[in-house]
Structure 1
């Protein structure tokens, strides 16, 4: 399989060896921080899907939609179970970017399933993958962060392929503090019930998934919704209000150092800044893909608004995607105050996007690269995935660009 090649999504004439196709497509998935996320806190799909679609194009036998879906679910399931072995991992992370830790394991498990590896080979695939896990959280809000997803997809796929040809690792890797436990200070693994017993249940059935409506860190969605609501109150009180008359803005958010950026200079810093996202919402009455362009970030009006922001972290506002809230208070030079709070943003697992909005999100973003046939073909295949007999058609649609 080393000579096999797979598609680079959105490029009509470029193919790469499987591992590098998984790497490039994984980076693309997370390039705008616009991919799905969940609780426990990780980005599960970007680490798994690029590896599986690379394999689908290379396997000599047909891969059905059900085959792909099962392997994908295995990859998501493994990530969820591993994150439940640590309370530290379960909420907003402290040291490691979660997809770099559990994503590579999910990619390895999914790839092993699609390759049809034996149980012993699967164990070794996970052990091999564990030696490629981990990336420091300090690289969040930089251009390197999307590389974490790409590496997870690539290294997991490689681990499964290496196990397939006989490479072995420590079969107890998931049970040891000096094994997978090195990534979490409170690592406490538990045994999974045997699949034949009545005690087995897919945690995927109860998994919480969020689909973002803006291309930014998940925490930004709370502050954007609160800022838009506060702006609405202000404009309702005075339709002719000039935002230059805002004297002060107070953000009450959970403590989290890597998403508290008072003066973002790059798009990646902006995607991880409570201050930037709140001020963009106040200034423009929306936050979109274009909000993170260099021209928008460098606007004098935005910088002026940023200079008036104070961040507070109330004791009752815990850094937990289940419990956190964001509150925005806008004070005017006339002494008036307008406050709004968001406990659950639109797109949160407790308040999910409608199917129409989900499809519209894909259509808007994909159409910037793919032609209409590619966009609509992809939507159709995914919508009917359980009845698809040959999944390699996805690669064909994902190569249908405007260049053709």
Structure 2
């Protein structure tokens, strides 16, 4: 696929360019002038949220397992491990374990078409930044982060299949590693040709089966994406070469989609000024740690619970004879009787019943004591799922409707079309900062929590982005 391209993002001369070359040129030539207030604001929200869920994620068993493994390796270059005072690892393993922490509870942001964009980029960028002779500024970090997000957004738009809840591959393992490579290439100031090579190398690291969703292995998809992307850009910097048309051909990046239709990244169609995908498509930021689809169910269940209690404040859960959920058809988020916290995070049934019993879903909802409640298990057995044809398996179009039938013959119905935290109904800045503080305070002292909020809020003005590192692993035992 060849096209003549000439624009401010590219050199001033006209050249024949392939899809892969167009991405390489754009990655290399994007600069801080292409950022604007809107994109900076949205990306800083994503960065703050990612740091918070990552810090909380350092308390999980999957993080501890990955950390135990990664501590076997040494290197002259070292990068900090979030929430672990004084502990550093070779940068690729720091990216790996911090990335796992971000997704360990499925608490990180989600985009449309569906992927978890921030966790695949930020941990690798921060680990890489700590190793560079000249430490990048906050503005340089913001630019590299947005380059990584943009590449993911562009690649997902090469397939209609990608717009739906996935069936075969976990998206961050596919587009996330490409975004990580692009972000790292930007931070390293690679040439257009080197940026294209970084994408080619990253493509051979891409892909993870969806079968490992709802297991402890799923968070490794984010850890691997951010780590492998950083490795890919550094290998490209050293001269490693891959297929020059990796984004152009079906046997290249097209292997991950059944309807892959690549297009050149044509900046002349966007401006000037350049318009980022993130400007048109914001992310969803979660209020509790579970698969995004669960958030429709939680809001609908909380609403129907309020209706039940309005009519009968003393209602006993055992008086509920049947719960019917109308949700999209998606096999991997249909778990009638979850036995682990990871299954519970992917269970419409569990989330709905938890919200019916408690009025909300939170981090504590996945505690073993909460999951083992007899009343919850009984209610799960009376919960049934339907998949109406009009309920599309898309985070942009789906809904959740819940009907609760009670022993006295009453029916109560609630429907959620857009939950709080969805890109159509985003968390307020106050609630987003509140979420970060609650998560970060689980492992950091208040001084560090407040400092991180301040740094991220002023990130475009910070001369050294690695100022975050000392706060990300400050000991909570310090006076």
Fold-level similarity (TM above 0.5): yes
Q: Could you tell me how far apart the structure 1 residues matched to 2:406 and 2:337 are?
A: 22
Q: Could you tell me how far apart the structure 1 residues matched to 2:289 and 2:268 are?
A: 38
Matched, 1:298 2:393: no
Matched, 1:101 2:159: no
Q: Are 2:401 and 2:414, in contact at CA under 8 Å, matched by a contact in 1?
A: yes
Which residue of the partner structure matches residue 293 of structure 2? Answer: 219
Which residue of the partner structure matches residue 279 of structure 1? Answer: 353
Which residue of the partner structure matches residue 391 of structure 2? Answer: 317
Which residue of the partner structure matches residue 125 of structure 1? Answer: 198
Structure 2 gap ranges (5+): 1-73
Matched, 1:189 2:273: no
Matches within 5 A, 1:185-264: 185-194=258-267, 198=271, 201-264=275-338
Which residue of the partner structure matches residue 355 of structure 1? Answer: 429
Q: Could you tell me how far apart the structure 1 residues matched to 2:253 and 2:453 are?
A: 37
- Determine which of 146, 152, 155 is the counterpart of 1:73: 146
Q: Could you tell me how far apart the structure 1 residues matched to 2:430 and 2:188 are?
A: 34
SS in 2 for 1:47: coil
Q: Could you tell me how far apart the structure 2 residues matched to 1:312 and 1:91 are?
A: 18
Q: Could you tell me how far apart the structure 2 residues matched to 1:248 and 1:271 are?
A: 22
CA pair 16-228 structure 1, distance change in 2 beyond 3 A: same
Matched positions, count: 404
Greater Cα offset, 238-247 or 104-113: 238-247
If the length of structure 2 is used for normalisation, what is the TM-score?
Answer: 0.83
Which residue of the partner structure matches residue 22 of structure 2? Answer: none
Structure 1 residue 198, shift from structure 2 partner: 4.1
Q: Could you tell me how far apart the structure 2 residues matched to 1:201 and 1:77 are?
A: 10
Greater Cα offset, 264-273 or 55-64: 55-64
Q: Could you tell me how far apart the structure 2 residues matched to 1:180 and 1:97 are?
A: 15
CA pair 209-196 structure 1, distance change in 2 beyond 3 A: closer
Structure 1 residue 403, shift from structure 2 partner: 3.8
If the length of structure 1 is used for normalisation, what is the TM-score?
Answer: 0.98
Deviation per CA, 1:16-38, whole angstroms, max 9, x where unpaired?
A: 00000000000000011000111
Matched, 1:46 2:98: no
Structure 1 gap ranges (5+): none
SS in 1 for 2:283: strand
Structure 1 residue 374, shift from structure 2 partner: 1.2
Q: Could you tell me how far apart the structure 1 residues matched to 2:180 and 2:171 are?
A: 13
Q: Are 1:130 and 1:180, in contact at CA under 8 Å, matched by a contact in 2?
A: yes
Structure 1 residue 196, shift from structure 2 partner: 10
Q: Could you tell me how far apart the structure 1 residues matched to 2:327 and 2:202 are?
A: 36
Q: Are 2:75 and 2:89, in contact at CA under 8 Å, matched by a contact in 1?
A: no
Q: Are 2:304 and 2:402, in contact at CA under 8 Å, matched by a contact in 1?
A: yes
SS in 2 for 1:330: strand
